[in-house]
Amino acid sequence: MLRSIVSVLILFSAFLSFPLTLLHAQHSLPKQETLEVVVTKIVKEKKLHIDNRTNIQQIIEARVIKGSIQGKTIVIGNEDMPLVNQRRYEVGDRLLVSATKNGNNTDSFFVLDYVRRDILLLLFGIFLLATLLIGKKHGARSLLGMIYSFFIIFSFILPQIANGAPPVFVAIIGSLLIAPVTFYISHGFNKKTTIAFCSTMISIVITGVLAAIVLDIGKFSGFSSEEAGFIESMRPGKIHIQGLLLAGIIISVIGILDDVTVSQAAIVYELQEHAKHLSPKELYRNAMNVGKDHIASVVNTLILVYTGASLPLLLLFLDASLPFSELINYEIIAEEIVKTLVSSIGLIIAVPITTLLASYFASTSSFKERTYIT
């Protein structure tokens, strides 16, 4: 069974790579393209001190290593472009450069960013190595689940939303496609995984309903981020931005619930294995003693993760010296609070739901654990 799933995933990856290859082939435009260059010389450099900030103005010489003019040397300057965070480029830096053909048949170049592909690939390689060496076959299964999740996200969820489908409906369907496959691939075909999957689906429904109610009562528009405004300007009226916010909460909760429900179900079955005399009620009570610690650690982790992701935003409002009662009313802040609290509530309710289901089935003789893949 597992081999069949792996084969299907390989085919999915092949189908996914096909449209991406076509997209890459059609990327270059007649009048504008993105080049990769390596800096070979600093022609000119000047420092400007403006409002306690130092801006670096440079003229650099670079060799094109990827693009239609590969091998040629170009000159790039930023003297007329004062930026908030102007970087200082050095010889050997690899950069992404926008090349534009002007009306008078001249070219203009502008540095977009650094080329970070190599360090990302190295980090991903370390991640793969650590997962396989430490997790072994379970780590390999989790990687397959990750590949499948990315496939569903990029081949179904994102295209459907971009084409105007209701984001919440798409997120729910996507969740139903992602959760069972990733759960069973990562944790095996057994009763514990089934209980964890069912508990996750119940918790997602409750979390989604709660999030929808809060977003509606709180009059959240979903336009607090620049990305939402950019999407609306590109596709005016085609994508329901508030629904997109709710869909994001639903999808993000799936991964968190995976850890919570599987761990809690495993705790119940481990207790039942070593104390077969326990009744469902006793098993539930003992497992919840562990589950409470699980709740405390996971919720704290979740809050720190959201806080870390929002540090620049929090610093911005902190410097504004606004009272807390006013600060939390701004949608850009309130949106992060809703994401954190709704996700935390989903985690909390998942623990007793999972424990209740697992305690019942683990302690009932007619539902003995039978593992198909270990």
pLDDT one-digit tens code per residue, 306-348: 777 777 777 776 666 677 777 778 888 888 888 888 888 888 9
Question: Exposed, middle or buried, 211 (CB in 10 Å: 0-12/13-18/19+)?
Answer: buried
Percent of the residues in the chain that have a pLDDT greater than 90, as a whole number: 17
Residues 111, 146, single domain; the answer is: no
pTM (two decimals):
0.71
Question: Exposed, middle or buried, 357 (CB in 10 Å: 0-12/13-18/19+)?
Answer: buried
Highest mean pLDDT out of 41-55, 180-194, 344-358? 344-358
Task: Please check whether residue 346 lies inside any domain of the structure.
Answer: yes
> DSSP assignment of 283-332, as one string?
HHHHHHHHHHHHHHHHHHHHHHHHHHHTHHHHHHHHHTT--HHHHTTSHH
Question: Exposed, middle or buried, 225 (CB in 10 Å: 0-12/13-18/19+)?
Answer: middle
pLDDT of residue 232: 75
Task: Please check whether residue 144 lies inside any domain of the structure.
Answer: yes
Task: Please check whether residue 153 lies inside any domain of the structure.
Answer: yes
Task: Please check whether residue 244 lies inside any domain of the structure.
Answer: yes
Task: Please check whether residue 128 lies inside any domain of the structure.
Answer: no
pLDDT of residue 369: 45
Asked if the model's pLDDT at residue 282 lies above 70, the reply is: yes
Residues 100, 230, single domain; the answer is: no
Total domains in the fold of the chain: 2
Percent of the residues in the chain that have a pLDDT greater than 70, as a whole number: 82
Taking residues 273-282, what's their average pLDDT? 81
- For residues 16 and 154, the answer to whether their CB atoms sit within 8 Å is yes
Average pLDDT across the chain, whole number: 79
pLDDT of residue 79: 56
Task: Please check whether residue 12 lies inside any domain of the structure.
Answer: no
Domain that holds residue 40: 32-115
- For residues 148 and 331, the answer to whether their CB atoms sit within 8 Å is no
Residues 55, 199, single domain; the answer is: no
Residues 198, 240, single domain; the answer is: yes
Asked if the model's pLDDT at residue 120 lies above 80, the reply is: yes
pLDDT one-digit tens code per residue, 6-39: 444 444 444 443 343 333 333 333 467 889 999 9
CA-based max dimension of the chain: 87
Closest CA to 82 of 39, 113, 53: 53
Asked if the model's pLDDT at residue 360 lies above 50, the reply is: yes
Last residue of a domain, one of 85, 115, 145: 115
